[in-house]
């Protein structure tokens, strides 16, 4: 889905009636979430659970953060598995993602991206997914999303917020982008991560610090990217905030001569592929996209327009460059240690 414009805070002193009209629905949304969390007793997994979650609907940079933290833990000898809902896929799981067999249609796009780094489990029931991962050798599980899911006890929860978008208009879905009330979220948070450049999340950062929570900052930086310096490119993307990707291309000094935005998790059709190929040809530009977009084309039938688009497109991978990464890792390791060797009361 595309984020409605009225979800964002109006900086031109304009007014939209939609948030007020949708406020009653938002009230029931928030109440339903609070009741679910109140009456659900979280189950404790056999291994530590690290949750990378967010407070708003839309892209905040959770997956690049999950990848960065997993790579860091793997380098230190940890047996990391990912656990995710598999948004956009049909599989309920628990299922371990098989890159040779699974597609974005059945497991979603993010699990395919995560599975390139570590074993990844798709499970609507997070408790069953965590149990399956533990039985398969996981020593720590990183949840990509799931902060609002109360079924599984988290040992460390990192709440991720976009620095430019912040909390939008500060209202709950559907009147705004918030998944739950800020105060409720802060009570269950171990640390806050502000991703990107901007000041829209400064108020949340201050509230977090006032509640004794550490606040970290990160930017998304291209890694192992092709040389795009001075190259004319046509960029396409269907992620939460495509403008972040387009800004990354400019940081790589690419000459962005055209862009095409799609809804988040968009499954590219043959018609989409044909239009993109023709547009790039007419512009004399090289096609570029994100890793997350590219995995939705990985199983396109040979000879199809989607397969030709896949072969013609350069990928620009991104990871989170985290300030004070050592301090964040120390907090996570302490939480893992507490889970493995709980202190006696």
Q: Where are the domains of the chain?
A: 49-220+321-340, 225-316
Fold (CATH) for 49-220+321-340: Rossmann fold (3.40.50)
Q: What DSSP element (H or E) covers 50?
A: strand 49-54
Count Cα neighbours of 228 within 13 Å in the Cβ-side half-sphere: 30
Structure tokens that stand for 335 in this block:
């939480």
Return the pLDDT at 30. 92
Q: Provide the pLDDT for residue 330.
A: 95
Pick the CATH number of 225-316 from 3.30.160, 3.40.50, 1.10.390, 3.40.190: 3.40.50
pLDDT of residue 8: 81
pLDDT at position 15 is: 59
pLDDT at residue 14, as a whole number: 54
Residue 306, burial from CB neighbour count under 10 angstroms (0-12, 13-18, 19+): buried
| CA-based nearest residue to 269, from 314, 310, 305, 312 | 305
Instruction: Name the burial class of residue 17, with classes exposed (0-12), middle (13-18) and buried (19+) by CB atoms within 10 angstroms of its CB.
Output: exposed
Residue 317: both structure tokens together: 């991978």
> Rounded distance, CA 70 to CA 75, Å?
9
Count CA within 13 A, CB hemisphere, residue 209. Answer: 9
Q: Do domains 49-220+321-340 and 225-316 have the same CATH topology?
A: yes
Count of C-beta atoms within a 10 Å radius of residue 66 = 28
Enter the pTM of the model. 0.91
In angstroms, rounded to a whole number, what is the distance separating the alpha carbons of residues 216 and 45?
Answer: 27
Each residue's pLDDT expressed in tens, for the chain with a length of 345 residues = 567 888 887 655 555 788 888 999 999 999 999 999 999 999 999 999 999 999 998 778 899 999 999 999 999 999 999 999 988 889 998 999 999 999 999 999 999 999 999 999 999 999 999 999 999 999 999 999 899 999 999 999 999 999 999 999 999 999 999 999 999 999 999 999 999 989 999 999 999 999 999 999 999 888 888 899 999 999 999 998 888 899 999 999 999 999 999 998 899 999 999 999 999 999 999 999 999 999 999 889 999 999 999 999 999 998 899 999 999 999 999 999 999 877 554
Dmax (CA) for the chain in angstroms is 69
């Amino acid at each position: 889905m595309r984020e409605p414009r009225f979800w964002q805070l109006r900086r031109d002193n304009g007014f939209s009636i939609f948030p007020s009209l949708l406020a009653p629905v938002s009230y029931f949304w928030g109440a339903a979430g609070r009741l679910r969390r109140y009456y659900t007793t979280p189950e404790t997994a056999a291994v530590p659970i690290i949750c990378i979650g967010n407070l708003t609907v839309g892209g905040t940079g959770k997956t690049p953060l999950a990848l960065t933290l997993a790579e860091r833990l793997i380098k230190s000898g940890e047996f990391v598995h990912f656990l995710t809902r598999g948004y956009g896929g049909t599989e309920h799981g628990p299922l371990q993602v098989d890159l040779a067999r699974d597609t974005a249609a059945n497991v979603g796009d993010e699990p395919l991206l995560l599975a390139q780094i570590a074993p990844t489990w798709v499970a609507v029931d997070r408790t069953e997914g965590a149990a399956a991962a533990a039985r398969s050798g996981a020593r720590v599980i990183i949840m990509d999303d799931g902060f609002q899911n109360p079924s599984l006890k988290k040992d460390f929860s990192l709440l991720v917020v976009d620095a430019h978008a912040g909390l939008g208009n500060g209202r709950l879905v559907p009147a705004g982008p918030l998944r739950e009330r800020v105060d409720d979220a802060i009570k269950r948070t171990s640390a806050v991560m502000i991703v990107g450049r901007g000041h829209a999340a400064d108020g949340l950062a201050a509230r977090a610090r006032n509640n004794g929570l550490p606040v970290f900052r990160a930017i998304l930086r291209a890694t192992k990217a092709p040389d795009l310096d001075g190259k004319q490119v046509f960029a396409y993307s269907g992620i939460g905030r495509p403008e972040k990707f387009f800004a990354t291309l400019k940081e790589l000094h690419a000459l962005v001569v055209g862009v095409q935005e799609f809804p988040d998790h968009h499954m590219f059709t043959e018609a989409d592929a044909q239009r993109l190929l023709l547009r790039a040809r007419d512009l004399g530009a090289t096609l570029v996209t994100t890793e997350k977009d590219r995995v939705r084309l990985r199983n396109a039938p040979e000879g199809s327009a989607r397969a030709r688009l896949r072969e013609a497109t350069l990928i620009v991978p991104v990871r989170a460059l985290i300030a004070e990464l050592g301090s964040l890792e120390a907090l996570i390791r302490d939480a893992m240690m507490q889970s493995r060797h709980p202190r006696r009361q």
